[in-house]
Amino acid sequence: MISNDCRIKLKEIFTDRYLENEPLSRHINFRVGGPAAVFCIVKNINELTEALSIIGDRCNHFILGGGTNVLASDRGFDGVVFKISLNSVDFQKTDMIAEAGVLSVVAARIAAEHGLSGLEWASTLPGTVGGMVRGNAGCFGGEAKDVIKYVRIIRAGKIIKLNNKDLKFSYRHSLIKDTNDIVLEAVFALQRGDKEEIKKKMAEIMVARKKSQPLKSGTAGCTFKNYEIRDNDD
């Protein structure tokens, strides 16, 4: 249960982005899910840190990104859902800094417009930058671990930096999955490239994606993981 005091304080922070009994089906690709008791749309880092300090351990909360790898119960969620809509993108030479709520496809397109190569594979990837980092998302020969330089996260109320090695990337996995860390932004190490060649490669990937997946349907993009061969496998 969420106390009235928490509700009042969260409403003061998020104002018109504070919602009650918001159907999760509106925010999840599978288009199912009952109401969240409280649903807050996060537009900046300060309001997220303030909100987390308010609720503490007093009620359940869930961090929602693009909703592409989430299946919500029709019973809903008796707690606070924070929808991460941090969406700024900036550049430092060939490094692209993208906040966690930026859609992966948007990040890839912005990089292409700046003549930066390295994210072409993500040009049809469902979800957000935050989810890409958390799950070491990948397709068409690329993975997050190949281009992530470092990320900034919230851990126990503090904002800290994790380098690529700190994230312990493996197949569709990162350290983030094993913790309560919240991804705020990621820095991608990209390379200069020919803008038209980058766009051509992205167009080819889109054609391949359309041939293999029903893009207009409510799916997670991929359902199954590839089989991992280990040393002790027969």
- Any domain includes 226: no
Same domain, 93 and 208: yes
Per the structure block, which two tokens stand in for 31?
């288009």
Q: What percent of the chain stands above pLDDT 90?
A: 83
pLDDT-based confidence at 210, cuts 50/70/90? Answer: confident
Which stretch of 23-37, 149-163, 199-213 has the lowest confidence by average pLDDT?
199-213
DSSP string computed for 64-121: ESSSSS----TT-EEEEEEEE----EEEETTEEEEETTSBHHHHHHHHHHTTEES-GG
Q: Is 173 exposed, middle or buried (0-12, 13-18, 19+ CB in 10 A)?
A: middle
Per the structure block, which two tokens stand in for 48?
């997220």
Per the structure block, which two tokens stand in for 104?
């992966």
pLDDT-based confidence at 211, cuts 50/70/90? Answer: confident
- What is the spatial distance between Cα 192 and Cα 65, in angstroms, rounded to a whole number? 29
Q: Is 22 exposed, middle or buried (0-12, 13-18, 19+ CB in 10 A)?
A: buried
The range of the structural domain enclosing residue 178 comes to 89-212
CA 101 to chain CA mean position, Å: 6
DSSP state of 43: -
Of the two residues 93 and 216, the one the predictor is more confident about is 93
Rounded to 5 degrees, φ, ψ at 216 are: -90, -5
Average pLDDT, the chain: 93
- pLDDT attached to residue 223: 65
Nearest to 175 by CA among 131, 135, 227: 135
Same domain, 74 and 134: no
Is the pLDDT at 209 greater than 90? The verdict is: no
Rounded mean pLDDT, 151-163: 97
Same domain, 17 and 117: no
What is the number of structural domains in the chain? 2
Rounded mean pLDDT, 124-131: 94
Q: Which residues of 202-227 are buried (b: 16+ CB within 10 A; e: fewer)?
A: beebeeebeeeeeeeeeeebbeeeee
- What is the spatial distance between Cα 39 and Cα 152, in angstroms, rounded to a whole number? 24
Is the pLDDT at 216 greater than 70? The verdict is: no
Residue 112 maps to which CATH number?
Answer: 3.30.465.10
Residue 49 maps to which CATH number?
Answer: 3.30.43.10
Over residues 16-74, the pLDDT tens digits come to 999 999 999 999 988 999 999 999 999 999 999 999 999 988 899 999 999 988 999 99
Same domain, 173 and 125: yes
- Any domain includes 75: yes
- Any domain includes 219: no
- What is the spatial distance between Cα 104 and Cα 119, in angstroms, rounded to a whole number? 9
Q: What percent of the chain stands above pLDDT 70?
A: 91
Per the structure block, which two tokens stand in for 16?
């018109």
Predicted TM-score (pTM) of this structure: 0.90
